Amino acid sequence: MEALTKKKKKTVPTSANSFFLLQKSEVYSVEIYGTKELEKTEAGGGDEKYKDIKGKKKKKAEELKKELDLEDHKLSASELEGKYGTNINKGLSSARAAELLARDGLNSLTPPKATPEIVKFLKQMVGGFSILLWVGAVFSWISSGIQIAQGADSPFDNLYLGVVLALVVILTGIFAYYQEAKSTNIMASFSKMVPQQALVIRDGEKKELPAEQLVVGDIVEIKGGDRIPADIRLIAAQGCKVDNSSLTGESEPQPRSCEFTHDNPLETRNIAFYSTTCVEGTATGVVINTGDRTVIGRIASLASGVGNEKTPIAIEIEHFVYLVAGVAVSIGVLFFIISVSMRYKILDSIIFLIGIIVANVPEGLLATVTVSLSLTAKRMAKKNCLVKNLEAVETLGSTSIICSDKTGTLTQNRMTVAHLWFDNQIYSADTSEDQTTQPFDQSSPTWTALSKIVALCNRAEFRPGQEGIPIMKRVVVGDASETALLKFSEVLLGDVMSIRAQNKKVAEIPFNSTNKFQLSIHETDDANDKCYLLVMKGAPERILERCSTIMINGKEEPLDSEKAEAFQTAYMELGGMGERVLGFCHLYLPENEFPDTYSFDTDAMNFPTSNLCFVGLLSMIDPPRSTVPDAVSKCRSAGIKVIMVTGDHPITAKAIARSVGIISATSETVEDIAKRLNIPVERVNRREATAAVVNGMELKDMSLQELDEILCNHSEIVFARTSPQQKLIIVEGCQRQGAVVAVTGDGVNDSPALKKADIGIAMGIAGSDAAKNAADMVLLDDNFASIVTGVEEGRLIFDNLKKTIAYTLTKNIAELCPFLIYIIASIPLPIGTITILFIDLGTDIIPSVALAYEKAESDIMNRRPRNKQKDRLVNQQLAVYSYLQIGIMQSVGAFVTYFTVYAEQGFLPLTLLGVRVDWENSAINDFEDSYGQQWTKYQRTYLQWTGYTAFFVSITIQQVADLIIRKTRRNSIFQQGLFRNKVIWVGIFSQIGIALILTYGLGHVTALNFTPLRFQYWFVAVPFAVLIWVYDEVRKLLIRRYPGSWWDKNMYY
């Protein structure tokens, strides 16, 4: 590790911004070394893990060197000409360009190596239970082949069965494939960003070329509104600004010129990046990188390179498939051995094996799960959570950490005046979303003066034609602070525009970063008063420097040290709240010195800019959304840790975190404790601080262990000043804690983090297309509170899927037992394989989907997120209770029906034992029943089908009871309401309806093995259905009565 740190230190320039680059190159190496590396590091546990990461870092450091080779921004124009063999005025020759194009390829992003559609399709065909069913189908065909060869009399039964099984697999495969095809390809949006045309100088002529024809060394011209066609080193620029938000997440347009301003190629002004937008101005530049070698190209390949993690629900389903498949195979093999040792023919044993497999596999379940998830997804879309990846629905429910952006997600994404300071007093302003008045005391003459400065010393304007719209929603031309001030004064003073018209502006110095103030000189609206009013606003300390007096209650008083102290205190306090503070001052220019003919010259500054009168302070903040504090406290009670990750200043971040409750009122950071106890930060016991504000700069120097420690020890964490690339590090850190991490993001560079997260959430309004594509979910209203409603839905669906699976698994036993008894007791087969498929894919489908509509049993937001390792979708209790209790009850009920049918037709139960061989022998056509009557083979077979139908009907009837009991897991059905979920009743009616149609409608189609059943046989299993309901009510009662007891532990699933 030491060697590594040394190396890192050597290669990393100390500049603050170079971290961005370091991150980036580290991240790239993931792509370069491939996902194998990633897996390897994940595979190791404990120390080994870190060792691996160390190894990886070494390679990353080497990568870093390579990355820093980009030195084009340091070169002069002529050096550039030399390096790329081009001419700034004439451009490349067409021949040279063609040569380079042949060498480097098209200037476009390579789509990721897409899995061919057919492969995806075939994958669906062999995933999950499909393999088992294929085995079943192949066995069917083999045995049918053997039967044909042996000349048995009905060799085609097995052939058909095989075809049916194959059809089931293919149909469910098509369904799953269709679902998967709906999820979009991430590269699509990256390619959408590629500009179509570029203006290139070649052979000394300007040409419009498709951007993908660009090569290194081409001279291109860009103008406002264009997308940058490649990475470009600018050689001439006029007022050029680019919007880098798709790359860095900064929404402020960045000026671009041809000067080399920074060592870091990402920071310097003379490089414009592929796929960013030129907002205004024009520029000319040399292409230095094309296609995948551009910065964005690397991010794009990175986003598709970061392995998409398996979603928790996918893991759960896999676990469940393994479990059921394990049961199916072991019972199958066990009974294969039993039947062989019972001297059954191998062929017969194989046929038994098929039956056992088909009975054990819940064919319809995976489709049901998909449908349930998509129903929830629809419900979530209504609540502004658009889910792209179905499985993400549940992932959101198991989320244990949400890493949220601040701006726009937690906050309203607009500056608003929050506090004012005048007359030595701090006033609070209303910051809610729909303010129409302000409650603070506005009677002081100082306020009149202050409000005048605020209204006049402001360049922002409302866009015309918005009279009807509420002030807060109007569109403003101007920067964020000025917009805030404009809206603030519009609310308080009324029509600001007319005030400005009355106080005509005669001179103005706009804000710039060296002066740090803005100044304007106005005529006054008082006709008698001919003096000019000079108003000024800016950084408070700079404003104060220029003042000699201060206005208190409308009177100018000298600014003595006591008053300056008061100012300092107020400034610190407002600043400490994370607010952007502006100072305001004014001066009435004496009429004698500045008559109304006086011409003000802003360059010469022929007017006083000192000894002004200080009036007050205004502070602004991007205030939290009003729904957020509530949502955060909901997360807290739901055991979800909310981590704020922002690029903002730590103080602002902390203030917002406090106001929304991410840092709760009582908890302190290490710094807070140090301040309170008045001891150095180093001496504070870090364990005492529950909250932490981590600066991006600190994060950069942290080892993985240190990061893990922070994530582990603090429950309330804010990451401030983080680059979007660090998000990936934070996400990985959280995942190392075993958390299910949800991450919000909007920029292109967030996409690796969004991909890496268990659930990536993109912003619907502010988000870039790439972020939306990388994400699993899109928040249509950008509101944090919507995530929380999503979590609620996700938790509900997990519970409901449990119910669905429990419902589905139960009847597997009732389908399996017939085969086992058939083999052991040699009775006529109680239920056929085809009939089982009719239950699994017919009567049971709608009821199991209906369970997805079940309401929550209790407040699901009051329990902790499920533990991925322990709270499985299908746990031992669920399987055991379904298989060994309810399943057995169902089997008993179904067998009673079976024996009743046979007995009433002439075969008493005892007669049936051991008859299998003769029963199935088609050479015996005078088979005697218990009454001495004689049956032909066909008559017996028909009776056997009647038995199938009866067995089917009684499973269906008992599944109705099973459906009702599965509505709740703990509460009584009567607490939950039998009729609240109407869809359940649709399920019950559909179930019985399908059974009626199969029995009476298709009862004469012999191939389906259904016969019109005597009506009374429908009721034989009813007592058992009632028994199931009563038994389950007792179970739930005992669970409620004795929580934590042996019963609760063993019977609650």
Partner 1 sequence: MATLNEKKTCSERMENFRRFVWNPETKLFMGRSLINWVWISLYYLAFYVVMSGLFALSIYSLMRTINPYEPDYQDQLKSPGVTLRPDVYGERGLQIYYNISDNKTWEGLVTTLHTFLTEYTPAAQHLNINCTSDTYFIQDTFDGPNKTKLACKFTSDMLQNCSGITDPTFGFPEGTPCFIIKMNRIIKFFPGNGTAPRVDCTYVGDEPHPLEVDYYPVNGTFNLHYFPYYGKKAQPSYSNPLVAVKFLNITRNVELKIVCKIIGAGITYNVHDPYEGKVEFKLKIED
Catalogue the active-site residues: 405
Provide the minimum distance between the beta carbon of 419 and partner 1 in the complex, in angstroms, as a whole number. Answer: 44
Q: How many helices (H) and strands (E) does the chain have?
A: 40, 28
Q: Exactly one of 47, 208, 603, 926 binds partner 1 (CB under 8 A); which one?
A: 926
Q: Which of residues 987-1016 bind partner 1 (CB under 8 A)?
A: 1006, 1014
Q: How far is the CB of 393 from partner 1 (least distance, A)?
A: 17
**Smallest distance from the beta carbon of 777 to partner 1, in angstroms?**
17
Q: Which of 568, 922, 972, 975 binds partner 1 (CB under 8 A)?
A: 922
866 near partner 1, judged by CB under 8 A: no
Contact 110, 305 (CB under 8 A): no
Identity of the residue, 646 or 941, whose beta carbon is nearer to partner 1 in the bound complex: 941
CB of 52: closest distance to partner 1 in angstroms? 11
Interface characters, 132-151, with partner 1 (x: CB under 8 A)? -------------------x
Smaller CB distance to partner 1: residue 721 or 940? 940
How are beta strands 476-477 and 461-462 bridged, if at all?
Answer: antiparallel
Tokens of 463: 């866009």
Give the residue, chosen from 189, 489, 735, 812, that forms a contact with partner 1 under the rule CB under 8 A.
Answer: 735
Residue 337 CB contacts under 8 Å (≥ 6 apart), including other chains: none
Between residue 312 and residue 341, which ones bind partner 1 under the rule CB under 8 A? Answer: 315
Angstrom distance (rounded) from CA 398 to CA 311: 10
Q: Which is nearer to partner 1, 87 or 930 (CB)?
A: 930
Q: Which residues contact 900 (CB under 8 A, 6 or more apart)?
A: 950, 1017, 1020
Check binding of 972 to partner 1 (CB under 8 A): no
> Could you tell me what percentage of the chain is helix, strand and coil, using 3-state DSSP and rounding each to the nearest 5?
55, 15, 30
For the bound state, the minimum distance from the C-beta of residue 129 to partner 1, rounded and expressed in Å, comes to 22
Judged by CB under 8 A, which of 52, 263, 309, 1048 binds partner 1?
Answer: 309
CB-based contact 750:299 (threshold 8 Å): no
Q: Would you give the DSSP letter of residue 315?
A: H
Tell me the β-bridge partners of 959.
Answer: none
How do strand 777-779 and strand 385-387 relate by DSSP bridges?
Answer: antiparallel
Rounded to a whole number of angstroms, the CA Rg of the chain reads 37
Whether the CB-CB separation of 845 and 364 falls below 8 Å is answered with: yes
Range 931-970, binding partner 1 (CB under 8 A): 931-940, 942-943, 946
Nearest distance from C-beta of residue 349 to partner 1, angstroms: 23
Q: Which two tokens stand for residue 906?
A: 């002439």
Assess 904 for contact with partner 1 (CB under 8 A): yes
Q: Is 905 in the site for partner 1 (CB under 8 A)?
A: yes
CB of 62 to partner 1, least distance (A): 24
Token pair in block for residue 370: 């998909």
Number of residues that bind partner 1 (CB under 8 A): 57
Q: For residues 106 and 213, is the Cβ–Cβ distance under 8 A?
A: yes
- Is 925 one of the binding residues for partner 1 (CB under 8 A)? yes
Q: Verify binding: residue 1027, partner 1, rule CB under 8 A.
A: yes
Using CB under 8 A as the criterion, what x/- string covers residues 7-46 for binding partner 1? --------------------------------x-xxx-x-
Interacting residues of 377 by C-beta distance below 8 A, sequence separation 6+: 387, 390, 393
Nearer to partner 1, 177 or 1031 (CB): 1031
Short-list 166, 138, 143, CA closest to 156: 143
Which of 464/932 has CB closer to partner 1?
932
Three-class DSSP category at 51: helix
Question: Which residues from 872-901 bind partner 1, rule CB under 8 A?
Answer: 876, 884-885, 888-889, 892, 895-896, 899-900
CB nearer to partner 1: pick between 862 and 1050: 1050
Helix residue ranges, H only, 503-614: 540-545, 561-576
Residue 97: enclosing H or E segment and its boundaries?
A: helix 94-104
- Compute the least distance from the CB of residue 184 to partner 1, in Å: 22
Q: What is the Cα–Cα distance from 107 to 214, expressed in whole angstroms?
A: 6
Long-range contacts of 117-120 (CB under 8 A, 24+ apart): 117/181, 120/177, 120/180, 120/181
Q: How far apart are CA 909 and CA 907, in angstroms?
A: 6
CB of 727 to partner 1, least distance (A): 16
Q: Does 310 bind partner 1 (CB under 8 A)?
A: yes
Query: Does the protein bind partner 1 through residue 909 (CB under 8 A)?
Result: yes
Q: How far apart are CA 742 and CA 395, in angstroms?
A: 9
Give the separation between CA 659 and CA 666, rounded to whole angstroms. 12
Nearer to partner 1 among residue 465 and residue 1044 (C-beta): 1044
Assess contact for 564 and 544: CB atoms under 8 A. yes
> Cα torsion for 791, 794, 795, 797, to the nearest 10°?
160
Q: Which is nearer to partner 1, 628 or 1021 (CB)?
A: 1021
In the list 243, 758, 792, 793, the residue contacting partner 1 (rule: CB under 8 A) is 758
Touching partner 1, residues 668-697 (CB under 8 A) = none
**Is 1045 one of the binding residues for partner 1 (CB under 8 A)?**
no
Q: Which stretch binds partner 1 (CB under 8 A): 333-341, 368-376, 662-670, 904-912?
A: 904-912
Stretch that binds partner 1, among 105-113, 536-544, 824-832, 923-931 (CB under 8 A): 923-931
For the record, the structure tokens of 157 come out as 């039964």
The contact set with partner 1 (CB under 8 A) reads: 39, 41-43, 45, 49, 151, 153, 309-310, 315, 735-736, 738, 758, 868-869, 876, 884-885, 888-889, 892, 895-896, 899-900, 903-906, 908-909, 922-923, 925-926, 929-940, 942-943, 946, 1006, 1014, 1027, 1046, 1050
